[in-house]
Structure 1
Amino acid sequence: MSDQTCRVQIPDGEVIGHPDGAVYSWKGIPYAAATDGEYRFRAPRPVEPWSKPLDCRSFGALAPQGLDNPVPMDPNLPMSEDCLSVNVWAPEPGGTPRPVMVWIHGGAYSLGSAAQTVYDGRNLAELGDLVIVTVNYRIGAFGFLDLSSFSTEDTVFETNVGLRDQIAALEWVQRCIARFGGDTSNVTVFGESSGGASVTTLMTSPAAEGLFQKAIVQSAPATSVYGQDRAALVAARFLELVDITPDRVHELKTMDFARLVTAGDTLCYEIPTKVPGTLGLAPVVDGDIVPRYPVAAFKKGFAHRIPLIIGTNHDEASIFRLMKSPLMPVTSETVSEMFRAIANDHSDLPAFRVAEIMSAYPDRSKTAGALAMSRDAGFRMPTLWIADAHSRYAPVWMYRFDHATPMLKAARIGAGHATELPYVFGNFGTLNRDPTFWLGGRKAAMAVSARVMRRWVAFARHGVPATMDGAKHWPLYADPTRSMLVIDAQDTVVSDPDTALRAAWGDRVLGFS
């Protein structure tokens, strides 16, 4: 590749990309205007065009968030409410339009950034000869606090602004990505954790229809979407934390954003501590961007009927135990509290059904049983419900990621939450002090990563996750076989491995009947 930059003219202005291996990267391209002041807690606005070429050598600003968390961030990046940007990796534009993959990062809707090193899109772009886009969007109180119940004539608050940001970014892709060589008719959205749940929610949002043609959902807490009554209680608690009465809500527009960040962080951890199994800040069923609870929408056939890869990790909850994080219940006591809350919240869920679910975990009083129950409530069962429902209307491929290095096994993390991320992007060693290979296992992990990347790329390119290199055939997930790809040192296909769990949980749990 030439050492020269690559200039691309998009409708908003010229952007300058820089060589990055065998591709170019354009970092920090604004897709919407700043969100401070009067535009705080409001839908994103179009970006102001720029007249001088924009040098896209560095990532854009971090979305406002607390930095006292386990997610490694570049300390040199500024934090700002002018944070709505995308990053693009692509071969030199020209020739046949290339498939596009758009990444939505996770982080409990409250932390994280598209600038995290593990999300660098260079390897995927090179391997697949395609265009990778990663999206920065508002998180925490700025993106997922619903203050609409406190709106006045003079101070309007809108719902689900973080999701509205994601939709605006997908609209930017439709408007601009052809200039980078991308095919607007072949866009795959993929995400992990709350990013994966954002994808399942967008799949049920009329506002996102037609903006993407395929989806990959990794470890999504898809049922962590709440009603407006609950959202109003959370908003009222937020006002208490920032010491504002409802008649003074206009002051939120001018309050120092650091104060809002602190209150949002408090909600992020306070609410799941008080009500285990719930998230403090998350999408809200508003009748607009999110017209229905997403799992219910999938069950009733209201999701966009597009091909879907969806799956979970074998040991999702282990990392939360290690970090002593309240974001998931990981003890028998907190898991029991979670089930009591479920029973209290859903009068149509008989007590014997809760007992039946708990009896499916004979070691529930021990750590392993508690972790399994938490994993299944938060990730595995919502994933199964979506796969079962969506497979009636569109192609679905389901996976379970089981691979773990010797060190992760020794640390009792195993295939924990988010441990598949470096395999998907081909980016290992991105933690500040990464213990992944302290006991070996690099060669096996590289082989697993190569297969995962080829499957994801093949799906983005052709709509089928076939590697074409002799790897295990991945059949569709459909009743009655419910075939699942188990990703490990050697991939295997198993038929309906969760029969007993599905029978125990049924499909009325959590009110999603």
Structure 2
Amino acid sequence: MTTQSETDTAEQVEDGPVVPTTAGRVRGHWDGPVAVWRSIPYAAPVTGAKRFRPPTPPERWDGVRDCALFGEIAPQTMGNMVPVDSVLKMGEDCLWLNVWSPPNSVGEQAGGEPRPVMVWLHGGAYCLGTAAQAIYDGRKLAETGDVVVVGVNYRIGALGFLDLSSLFHGFTPNLGLHDQIAALEWVRDNIAAFGGDPGNVTLFGESSGAGCVTALMTSPRTSGLFHKAIAQSPPATTVLSQERAAGVAQRYLELLELSPAQTMDLIDLPIDRLVQAAGVLMDEVPMKEPGRLAAAPVVDGDLLPEYPIHRFQLGRSHRMPLMIGTNKDEASLFRLFKSPIMPVTPDAVNVMLHDVAAGHPGMSPERIAEITSAYPDLAKTRGALAMSTDAAFRMPAHWVADAHARHSPTWTYRFDYATPMLRAARVGAGHATELPYVFGNFGTLNHDPTFWLGGRKVAGEVSGRTMRRWLAFAAHSVPAALDGSKHWPPYQPASRTTLLIDTIDRVVDNPDRDLHAAWGDQAVGFS
């Protein structure tokens, strides 16, 4: 085992700093003044009998493990919505994380107090994405804010968020969440050697990664593993019941042409076959039932004892500061990429509303009429996009904020900024468009058209303010930009004070007042 004296220091070598971890020593590399380690294993490969089981610790290694290159990314069906470098390989040795340490935090020059830690959970509708995406490079955050940044790779899709426990009792639900918890435990046990403070950890994520953040905020298993949270566009009510998950699991078997008696074959099937069938399933479910996903967190009675939104409203979320928000035009990106993940046409939205009414006893035709009254353009594409945005992201974020603010400091934002090109393309502040502003990484998307009509200077200013607020929250639990930017007061359910992030930031009380009036306080999800 690594001794305390070993974990307190890092060996300085010519190629990069060498740091001890509980499994062995790892060599990082320099990216300017920032030290970066790629693909440090926090758990063993999930192959064979481990395929549908919780993660286990990695095997120890002798010598020094070089952490210069990305390892295998979680098996998935590559889609055009998530740009992934073609040189990356998929595989089940995918439980690893990246670490960026700021200048003078490791090696011979290390000094000062331990740095705040920011742990990132990537998005991708619970079935896409990887911590190896260039947009999630943490160097600029680490250097700008003097923080240690950790990016977590975890199981997704059929291997991470498809609950197969109804098929065989040896299969575990919520494996992606189990992986994330294992990564947080690794941070607790190891991050001090990288210059980080294990007592000051901010968990942040976007889209399904943010949905994981809100779910983990309500899980008894995560108590003490993180101390602050940032949820960017969380689908907080997209959580499945065990009954619904069982139906999806049965359909997965059918797509694989397996009988229930052949369930154990899932352990030995080639990964490509599992991924191919999962790709069909991930498209099929939202096409047939708009607003629903095939793979998502499940109320398993253990890791998630209840629906997370219910635990928030019962006051059972962990006591910690929270930043939460959405983008003004969330659904536009799904229309642009013709993705089935969200309903973006009037017909699909009407089907979604019918399903919601059928699945929620309190959603009478009168209640549905009250909600739709806030969308006079519902018969047009723009009205459908607005409804889809609010059902999936805007209202769930508000319901979480309303509940959490009753006992813990909470701040809400709406990201409104869009470059001239994104406005001209009718994308606006679409889903995930805030990511380059948070990480300070522009130009990482394939054939990025963001600045074809200019706007880079203003975008840089917006990014600077956004990064400083996120970093101040991680360091001091208050998202103040500390540069004369607009004061951002905490959220209160009575006033619903919200920061609108744009060319010039504004603070507005209850900017979505009409939506609150229409939707009410009853959380509506797609279970």
Q: Give the TM-score normalised by structure 2.
A: 0.95
Alignment of 1:217-232 (within 5 A): 217-232=231-246
Can you give the 5+ residue segments of structure 2 that lack an aligned partner in the other structure?
Answer: 1-11
Q: Share of identical aligned residues, percent?
A: 60
How far does the alpha carbon of each residue in 1:327-361 deviate from its partner, in whole angstroms, 9 at most, with x for none?
Answer: 00011110010000001111232110001100111
Q: Which amino acid aligns with 1:35?
A: V
Question: Any conservation in 2 of the 1:99–1:461 contact (CA below 8 Å)?
Answer: yes
Deviation, 1:399, is 0.2
SS in 2 for 1:149: coil
Q: Is the 8 A contact 1:349 1:508 kept in 2?
A: no
1:378-417 to 2 correspondences below 5 Å: 378-417=392-431
Deviation at 1:238, TM superposition (A): 0.3
Alignment-derived partner of residue 86 in structure 1:
97
Per-residue deviation, 1:503: 1.3
Q: State whether structure 2 residue 48 is matched by structure 1 residue 37.
A: yes
Contact 2:119 2:204 in 1 (8 A): yes
1:257 to 243, 266, 271: 271
Q: CA deviation at 1:2?
A: 9.4
- Give distance in 1, aligned partners of 2:220 and 2:361: 30
Kept in 1, the 8 Å contact 2:237–2:523? The answer is no
SS in structure 1 at match of 2:201: strand
Distance 2:32 2:13 in 1: 10
Deviations along 1:377-424, one digit per CA (max 9) or x if unpaired, are 000000000000000010000000000000000000000000000000
Q: 1 CA distance for matches of 2:37 and 2:277?
A: 34
1:504 aligns with 2:518: yes
1:335 aligns to what?
349
State how far apart, in whole Å, the 1-side matches of 2:258 and 2:433 are.
Answer: 40
Paired amino acid for 1:223? T
- Specify the code of the residue in structure 1 equivalent to 2:433: T
Counterpart secondary structure, 1:311: strand
- 1:12 to 2:23 alignment: yes
- Assess if the C-alpha contact under 8 Å between 1:124 and 1:425 holds in 2: yes
Query: Does 2:308 correspond to 1:275?
Result: no
TM-score between both structures, scaled by the size of structure 1? 0.98
Aligned to 1:326: 340
Letter in 1 for 2:503: A
- Matches of residues 200-219 of structure 1 in structure 2 within 5 Å? 200-219=214-233
1:162 corresponds to: 176
1:285-329 CA distance string (max 9 Å, x none)? 000111111111100001101000000000000000111111000
* Aligned counterparts of 2:134 and 2:513: Cα–Cα separation in 1: 38
Q: What's the counterpart of residue 8 of structure 2? A: none
Q: Which residue of the other structure, out of 125, 147, 156, is the alignment partner of 2:164?
A: 147
Give the whole-Å Cα distance in 2 for the aligned partners of 1:488 and 1:3. Answer: 44
Moved more, 3-12 or 488-497: 3-12
State the shift of 1:3 in Å. Answer: 6.1
Where 1:74 maps in the other structure, the secondary structure is coil
* Number of the residue aligned with 1:421: 435
1:409-464 Cα shifts (integer Å, max 9, x gaps): 00000000000000000000001200000000000000000000000000000000
Name the counterpart of 1:350: 364
Q: What letter matches 1:169 in structure 2?
A: A
Report if the CA contact (8 A) 2:420-2:455 is conserved.
yes
Letter in 2 for 1:243: E
**Whole-angstrom CA distance in 2 between matches of 1:26 and 1:417:** 29
Residue 77 of structure 2 corresponds to residue 66 of structure 1: yes
Distance in 1, Cα, partners of 2:524 & 2:487: 35
Mapped contact 1:113–1:136 kept (Cα < 8 A):
yes
| TM-fit CA distance, 1:509 | 4.6
* Aligned partner (choices 111, 133, 136) of residue 128 of structure 2: 111
Does residue 445 of structure 2 align to residue 431 of structure 1? yes
In structure 2, the partner of 1:452 is 466
Aligned partner of residue 28 in structure 2, secondary structure:
strand
Give the residue type in structure 2 aligned to 1:315. D
CA distance in 1, matches of 2:388, 2:453: 28
1:301 aligns with 2:312: no
After superposition, the C-alpha distances for 1:108-147 in whole angstroms (9 at most, x for unaligned) are 0000000000000000000011100000000000001111
Structure 2 CA distance for aligned equivalents of residues 509 and 145 of structure 1: 23
User: Tell me, which stretches of 5 or more residues in structure 1 are unaligned?
Assistant: none
- Equivalents in 2 of 1:229, 1:473: separation in Å? 46
CA-atom RMSD, angstroms?
A: 1.2
The CA deviation at 1:279 is: 1.1
Distance in structure 2 (CA, Å) of the matches to 1:344 and 1:37: 40
Q: Secondary structure at the match of 1:148?
A: coil
Contact 1:349 1:509 (8 Å CA) reproduced: no
CA shift for structure 1 position 52: 2.2
State the distance in 1 between where 2:256 and 2:520 align.
42
Partner of 1:290: 304
